[in-house]
Amino acid sequence: MRAPLSWVREYVDLPADVSAEEVARRLTALGLKLEALEHPGAEMSGPLVVGRVLTMEPETHSNGKTVNWCTVDVSDANGTGEPQGIVCGAHNFAVGDLVVVVLPGGVLPGPHGAIEIGARKTYGHLSAGMICSARELGLGEDQAGIVVLPSDAGKPGDDAFALLHLRDDVIEMEINPDRAYALSIRGVAREVATAFDVDFRDPAERSVPTPNAAGYPVRVEDPAGCPVFVTRTVTGFDPSAPSPAWMARRVQLAGMRSISLAVDVTNYVMLELGNPIHGYDADRLSGPIVVRRARQGERLTTLDGTDRALATEDLLITDDSGPIGLAGVMGGQTTELSGDTSTVVIEAAHFDAVSIFRTARRHKLPTEGAKRWERGVDPLLPAYAADRVAELLVAHGGGRIEEGVTYVGAPPAPIEITAPADLAARVSGVPVEGGTAVDALRRVGCTVRADDDVLTVLPPAWRPDLTDPYDLVEEVVRLVGYDQVPSVLPAAPAGRGLTRDQRLRRRVGFALAGLGLVEVKSFPFVGPEDLDALGLAEDDVRRATIALANPLSTEQPALTTTLLPGLLRAAARNVGRGAADVHLFETAAVFVPSPDGAKAPILGVDWRPDQADLDKLLAAIPEQPHILSVVMTGRLQPSGWWGAGRAAMWSDAVQVVREVARVLGVDVEVSAASRAPWHPGRCAQMRIGDLVIGHAGELHPGVCARYDVPPRTCAVEVDLGALLAAAPDVVRAASFSSYPVAKEDVALLVDASLPAAAVGTTLREGAGELCESVRLFDLYTGDQVPEGKKSLAFALRFRAPDRTLTEAETGAARDAAVALAVERHGAVQRA
Amino acid sequence: MSGPNASYDPVQVTPLGAEQVAQMRADALEAIAAAADLDALTQVRRAHLGDRSPLALANREIGALPPQARKDAGQRVGRARGEVQSALDERQAVLEAEREARMLVEETVDVTLPSDRGPRGARHPLTTLSERIADVFVAMGWEVAEGPELDAEWLNFDALNLGPDHPARTLQDTLWVQPADAHLVLRTHTSPVQARTMLTRTPPIHVICPGRVFRADEYDATHSPVFHQVEGLVVDKGISMAHLKGTLDHFARAMFGADSTTRFRPSYFPFTEPSAEVDLACFVCGGTGASSISDTGTCRTCKGEGWIEWGGCGVVNPRVLAACGIDAETYSGFAFGMGIDRTLMFRHGIEDLRDLFEGDVRFTTAFGTGL
């Protein structure tokens, strides 16, 4: 809401020396939050006066431009009384017109700051000042050139600041949905009066004629949607009469466009009182006005020129021709006020908030009217608002107000609220006396009865938001002052600290950062192209995504099932910005569609729903497993004075999972797998026992190319939730022997395709209980090894819990290990 | 030597007189002093204390002397040998120390050579800030509650007094999933976690709910369709706005320093009544709005206002308590919520919100693993 302060002051006895800043500050404290404070006209200074064009000579210059060399009577404003010579580029005026002239020394706002106007040589003349356009004066966009004033606007030399109402203060406020009354000068003025404890004059307080049967006929078929409908009629109106400057200026400062007198008046009254108004050209109406819901298949072309299919829920204004307006939202084209409208039928109605809200939403028409209706309008206003419109129309456009006054329906009765007298004190923690609370409620317009410990409160018509006892509390506390609320730290019972998963997730995050990975947060949206680029098969489960009804982009219309696209894009972005070594991780939820397509019911809100219904609701929420993904590209260790560097490779990806598992105390096993988006020969399946938790390895070259990341980029995607679940709650202390260790190395020739891990497992098994560890320390293929074979060298460590092992014992254990490898894998021991 | 001197060799008889012994000692000490390095000293040791050294040979002769002469000669030779031995040991220690000193000098490296061989990892500042916030509340005995990001419409809206015709439910603000009758939404706030908490626990409830939330919003320097919120909820007997203020003041002090304070302004949220916006006294300019380092003279963090909009809060609307099965006659509560992203931005001077989501490692590594 933009409120010109001069307008507000009309209805409040605000001392003249109170600044707009102070008004804004106090309104903010009451809940009308300051968005912006503007001082239109403040950057301008005079002399800015009315001038009469005495002569104008068009001159065409070598640049092809025609300008007018004018002399303008500005009376004594220039100090000499002589006509002022001014060059003007506009052509929308004639000799004898009244214009606005800024004389040398005046200052106008420019696009890059204030411009001081001087006398300057241009087009062969000394141009002493400027004839002003609307834009140059801050009066809005130029229509046709310079401002031409009505012939009776004033006389040469008159001060144009006052004449055009150029200077004002505009307080722009953010109005919360519960303070709809503040979407009007009336409401703002009322709050200002409260804030400064000064008198308020209600602009709606006026005597209006008694309704009669002579007004324009109206029938309301849906009184729930339209409880009140008032019409007044003005005849003999002059459609060419201009809006008075003050009205056009206020409408403009309030954020609307000045259009014509009739339209400006309806907007002016809406802004002033808060009741949206519609005007009809009576000559274009046929038959009585009927308010009803739309019928199947009906259409309406609204004022914005859009032909709309109507829904049967839409509340309409109709006449014999059919729909002529979307009630409360936007009028229709056929009955629009136009340049030849001389008879105006004024509609001031009251509409149901929800009905208007739905229609405005359905047709995407958040108009000034709809904005007010859906938040709630004072239902007593229509008669007064219609009267005020009629008064302003004839005051500035002539004609007369017809005697007929139509008033159909009755305003909804306000709802009485009862509340404990001490509720405000209890809820706010401010020691508000009962009397203070009653006084505060009366100040906002409530009728209050205090019996014993209970207040019975009737809110004023302009506060439809006040329905609950707690609503009253807010009114009391904001008038007492939110700054009066004391600061008291509540004591919570002893808590249990972070949950197990919360603790473990932190541990994982630190471990990943310790490995040199940088955490990334990406958006969880994905599209078919992202999944195609990963090379997922048509039937890959990750292609089953949950689609958004209103996606942010058509490329990514669904919730993601993998974090890799986001990470790969981040990696590509980093590489594109010149980073060569990029190692990223993300932990986040992915979204798995429910196989049965369960639906979450909408339950009641009066009291806690049945557990069975709640269970049904909770069961319908799709699985959202927590995933850990990693992308690594470039070097893990750079080359330097210490020697050659090392690029991140498939095994580093595998190791990330192992490291995470290690900090969690979980054993993971690895086996070969083939799965997109990984390189089919360099993909490790990661398992906890038989549970597959994800994959790690080098990406498929095609994936790297499609995501524009360097070849050999590696990646991990594992189910973090499964890892956390497998972590032991309590780590058992290890028992270890203090007897000496015995070491044996074993080199085995095996088939090149045999997984090393299998051989290691076999050795461990064959070596028996004395074996403490088996570690692969060398892998060799080449000259010394036959084609199709590889040599694996293992270090075995032996130790007994109770004695020093003899060479014979160690040797026997080693031989048993080798023997099992020979038997199981056809291994050959190398010398 | 003891027993008969069987290997007595008259040719090798060495005089055991005082002058001779003194000469042997003097020769030995001179050689020791002259030994330039440990190798030379080893030679000297062999020559002057070895089995065939003059003093060793002299010692061997003592047994052949008449008993009355043995004592004198023995003492003389023994003393000489002892002195030579000490001199050798001393010289040995000196030379070893010299060798070590030389070796240490030779082993000197350039410690300014680069040492960072591993990549630099980092945790996202949104993660660490969320944890830090959680820690403030966990220290007061609160617990951290979590819930799904894709949640039931009823939990995100209806249960929180956002009825079917509330503007917040319009298509423009909320990201809905298909089909519409599944009634699932990407949560627009972390409040469904509050609802879940109230539905599953009995008061007293003290929880903090950090998490990722979604709005169909523009993506620019100050808006993002995906952002992060932290909400707090207390439900207990006798809870008032004063407890809300006390909690937020404590939160502000924990995050922004001991002098921090908050201010309430009346506001509106469907799930709270009364509702307030909470402003934080600017921790950079101390609430004055002025800055001596800024070109304009106004504080850049609070734009000269002295206060920073921090979040929304209020007393839990009794309708919300009822929908979650909590008796509003017995219990009352407060709730608050603020943007973690926004808090991170003004706390750390981040100009562009998109820095948080682009994944540029230079942005994130600057924060390391904590903030």
A347 touches chain B (CB under 8 A): no
| Contact: B206, A495; criterion CB under 8 Å | yes
CB–CB contact B154 A602 (8 Å): yes
* Residue A171 one-letter amino acid: I
Return d(Cα A242, Cα A150) in angstroms, integer.
8
Q: Which of A547, A550, A620 sits opposite B171 (nearest CB)?
A: A550
Read off the pLDDT of residues B332-345 as tens digits, 9 standing for 90 and up. Answer: 999 999 999 999 99
The CA distance from A695 to A719, in Å, is 9
pLDDT of residue B290: 86
C-alpha of A214 from chain center: 50
- B367 interfacial to chain A (CB closer than 8 Å): no
Q: Quick check: pTM over 0.80? A: yes
Phi/psi-derived region of residue A535, left when phi > 0, alpha when psi is between -120 and 50, beta in every other case: left
Nearest to A58 by CA among A20, A12, A21, A92: A92
Q: What is the pLDDT of residue B286?
A: 85
Sign of CA dihedral A632, A638, A639, A643: negative
| Closest residue to B239, CB basis, from A490, A584, A608 | A490
Question: Strand, coil or helix: what is B41?
Answer: helix
Three-state secondary structure along A458-491? ECCCCCCCCCCHHHHHHHHHHHHCHHHCCCCCCC
Q: State the Cα–Cα distance between residues A699 and A147, nearest whole angstrom.
A: 69
Instruction: State which residue of chain B sits closest to A485, comparing Cα positions.
Output: B242
Which runs of consecutive H residues, i.e. helices, occur in A101-221?
A: 160-163, 185-196
| pLDDT, position A596 | 84
pLDDT < 70 positions in chain B: 1-15, 167-168, 170-172
How is residue A782 annotated by DSSP?
S
The count of CB pairs under 8 A between chains A and B is 304
Give me the pLDDT at residue B168, please: 67
pLDDT at A212 (0 to 100):
95
Tell me the residues of chain A between 392 and 431 that have a Cβ less than 8 Å away from chain B. 426-430
| C-alpha to C-alpha distance for A545 and A558, rounded to whole angstroms | 6
> Is residue A727 within 8 Å of A709, Cβ to Cβ?
no
Which residue of B121, B150, B268 is in closest CB contact with A512?
Answer: B121
Partner residues linked to A448 by β-bridges: A457
Residues of chain A with pLDDT under 50: none
Residue B104: which residues within 8 A CB-CB, separation 6 or more? none
Residue A36 φ/ψ, nearest 5 degrees:
-160, 145
The overall longest dimension of chain B from CA atoms, in Å, is 131
Q: Which of residues 148-187 of B touch A (CB under 8 A)?
A: 148-155, 158-159, 161, 163-165, 167, 170-171, 175-178, 180-184, 186
Nearest CB among B161, B183, B236 relative to A600 is that of B183
Q: How would you classify residue A387: left for phi > 0, otherwise alpha for psi between -120 and 50, otherwise beta? A: alpha
Contact A599/B at CB under 8 A: yes
Q: Report the residue of chain B nearest A493, measured CA to CA.
A: B141
Terminal Cα-to-Cα distance of chain B (whole angstroms): 81
Nearest to A605 among B121, B159, B361 (CB): B159
Give the C-alpha separation, B16 to B1, whole Å.
Answer: 15
Encode pLDDT of A478-504 as tens digits.
Answer: 999 999 999 999 999 999 999 999 999
Q: Contact A430/B242, CB-based, under 8 Å?
A: yes
Cβ contacts of residue A384 below 8 Å, gap of 6+?
A204, A205, A206, A208, A273
Chain B stretch 248-267, residues whose beta carbon is closer than 8 A to a beta carbon of chain A:
249-250, 263-267
Contact A177 B247 (CB under 8 A): no
> Does residue B131 belong to the interface with chain A, where contact is any CB pair within 8 Å?
yes
Share of chain A above pLDDT 90, in %: 82
Q: Which two tokens stand for residue A604?
A: 């009641």
What CA–CA distance (Å, rounded) separates A327 from A466? 25
Helix (H, G, I), strand (E, B) or coil at A562: coil
Contacts of B226 in chain A (CB under 8 A): 523-524
pLDDT of residue A46: 78
Query: Looking at the complex, does the CB of residue A603 fall below 8 Å from at least one CB of chain B?
Result: yes
Report whether A311 contacts A294 (CB < 8 A).
Answer: yes
Q: Give the pLDDT score at A143.
A: 66
Scored b (16 or more CB within 10 A) or e, A153-187 reads bbebbbebbebbbbebbbbbbbbbebbbbbbbbbb
